[in-house]
Structures are given as structure tokens and as C-alpha cells.
Chain A
Amino acid sequence: MDAVESQDECYEKAAAEYGAALARMAAAYEANPDLRRDLLQEIHLALWRSFGKFNGRCSVRTWIYRVAHNVAISHVVRQARGRMNAPAFLSLEEAEAKTSGENVEISTDRRQALAQLFALIQRLEPLDRQVMLAYLEDLDAETIAEITGLTVTNVWTKIHRIKNVLVRQFAGGRHGL
């Protein structure tokens, strides 16, 4: 009974602290609202089950993001199964080349900016999507490397490209970069 309580407690704490981040992640991986809700439930389910074997070898944050991203990737692979002839995902390099024309003022049209951001993320290769989402959640490069399995150098290269993409697409870039 103690092990079960501990698993439930860990999950409830994680859901309370990271629930919004997980909802953002589900929205970034799935555009369809019904499938998005299913994905979010799958993520929470996998997270709850995973706390039964969490051994503290990495931080709780890393663990949560790793489980959530992996569940989302499985979802993307499953959804793409019947659509192998659909347009391929974009790499970050291709996204960099594409995002030169449509500049959105975040302050004047927040809803459009958000929709455009999610649309951009949903077109990316799953691995690049992971890096971008982790970057948007303020994770450091070492943590992103641990979650994705990429090298830190590779992560930094991708982050550089992500920043270029975001600056080009969102006029609010002049505030911070």
C-alpha cells in the first residue's frame, strides 16, 4: 500500500506543478482537439505508471519531460501510420528558410501568434519539436540533451536555429534577443 500511495503522491505533485506544461506539449504535438485530449490523457497515464519505477537517477523534471515527450512521439508515429504520403515534417533548417515572410505582432494579435506558433511546432520533425518545446519551457541545454539523447553541442546548434525561426516569425523578438 505504501508503494501505491507514493506513486499516487508523486503523480499528483507532478500533475499540479507541470500540468500546464503537459497541456502545452499535447497542443504542440496534436492539432485535433479530440485527439489532443486523448494524447494528454495518455501522457498523464504514462506518467502515473512511470512513477512506480522512478528511482531518482535523474531529476523529477527530466523524468517527467522524458516520459511526456516519448508518449507524444509514439502518438505522432501512430497517427502518421496511415499517412505516409502526407507532407513530410520540416527540419529546423527548412523551418528557418520558410519563416521569413509572415511576421506576427504578438502584442496586437496574441491568439494568431499562438496559433502560428503551435502550427509551426506541429510541422517540425519530432526530435526538433522536442528541443523546441523544451527550450520554450526554459530547460537548459544539458537537460534537453539528457531528455532527447542528443549531444549538448547538437542541442545548442538546434537552439540557435530555433531562436532564428522565432525571431523571424514573431516581431516581439526585438524585446529580448
Chain B
Amino acid sequence: MACNDLPNDLKILWNETGKDGPMFSPEQLRNETQKMQAKRRKGYIVLGVAFSAMVASLAIAFFLFHNTLARIGSILGVVSCGYWVVYLAAERARTAPDPAETNGVRHYRAELERMRDWHRGIGSWRAPILIPPFFLFDLGAAQTFGKAAPWVWLFVWFDVTIFLGVVAIGAPIKHRRTARKYQERIDALENASRG
């Protein structure tokens, strides 16, 4: 049965809209797809190279620094940055939900779940695991160079305040709260679609 009893004025008004919208050619869209894929690839490569460089630097630091704390920090740093290299490779292979594959409810739920899981992961523990290694490494460096350059201790305490306060404590709390809000929207969607 058609839903065709819209008020006539409103129907005419609605149908007249959008007729001067921009049009796109297949060639434009093909170029745009290639540009988007290249940009996405570049983003992952840059991050991957950055984390790989940190793994290499921390591995070298293990042999250069004879301080115990600095060595423990460099081992943990290699492990946590190494995890990020693997994680980025896995994320690059993952794709967003395909808009052609499913109906509206399922697609919307998939998008909300993706956002919820991102906030649960990145904020809760993926970013904070980078903090303790660098903190230990800084402490070890301060122990080694602190007598010759006391400002190193200032740098260490600055690290502690900023990283522990903001990244290790504040950010996970904020991300967990946001993840809960996404879960509420998923639950509301579930109820609405059962209607």
C-alpha cells in the first residue's frame, strides 16, 4: 500500500527541492576512490613507521643505557610499541561496514558498535600502555644524567603529571563514559527496532 497521502503543497515543495544539486561522473568518482585509498594507506604507513622507529630506538637504548630502570622501560617500550605496529597493520586490513550489505538498522548498529569498541579500546588501555615504559625510561635517564643536568628531573616530573594525569587516568575515564553512551544508543536502537 503506497504512502501517497502527503499534503499536496508539501509534496510539491519537497519534490521541487534538490534539482540543482551537484552531479558526479564515474571518472570523478574513480579518481576520488583512488585518492581516498591512497590517503588511508599513507596514514597507516606514517604511523607504522613512527612506531617501528620507536621500537628500534628503544632497542638501541637498551644497550646504550646501563641503568636498570631505563633498561626495563626500553624492554616494555619495545613490547608496547611493537603491539601498536601489529595493531595498526590489523586495523588497516579492517574495513568500515559496507553500506550496500545490510539494512538500515543493522548498518546503524554496526557503526555504533564500531565507535563503542574504539572508545573501549583506545582510551581504556591501548594508549595508556605506552605510558609506563616511557616513565620508567625517563626515570632511568634522570638517574643516569640527573647529577650533570638537574633539569632532567623537571622533565620527568612534567611527564608524570601530563601523562599520568591526562592520558593514563583522565582519557580512559572519558573514553569509558563515551563507550557507555554508545552502548545506551545501541540498546535504544534495539528497543526501537523491535517497536
A interface residues, Cβ below 8 angstroms from B? 7-8, 11-12, 15, 19-24, 26-27, 37, 40-41, 44-46, 48-50, 53-54, 63, 66-71, 73-74, 77, 81, 84, 91, 106-107, 110, 113-114, 117, 125-127, 130, 135-136, 138-141, 144, 146-151, 153-154, 157-159, 163, 166-167, 170, 172-177
Contact = CB atoms under 8 A, between A and B. Distances in A.
Dominant secondary structure of chain A at its interface with chain B: helix
Complex A-B, nearest 6 residue pairs according to Cβ-Cβ distance, in ascending order: A23-B21, A149-B103, A172-B9, A70-B99, A23-B18, A149-B105
Nearest to B19: A20
A173 B13 CA distance: 13
Contact of A146 (B13, B103, B192): B103
A44 B31 CA distance: 13
B193 A154 contact: yes
B96 interface: yes
A67 B103 CA distance: 9
Interface residues of B, number: 47
Nearest to A148: B104
Interface string B88-127: 0000000011011011111110011001000000000000
9 contacts: A19-B23, A23-B18, A23-B21, A27-B18, A40-B22, A41-B32, A66-B99, A73-B111, A140-B1
Given A8-B26, A40-B22, A71 B99 contact: yes
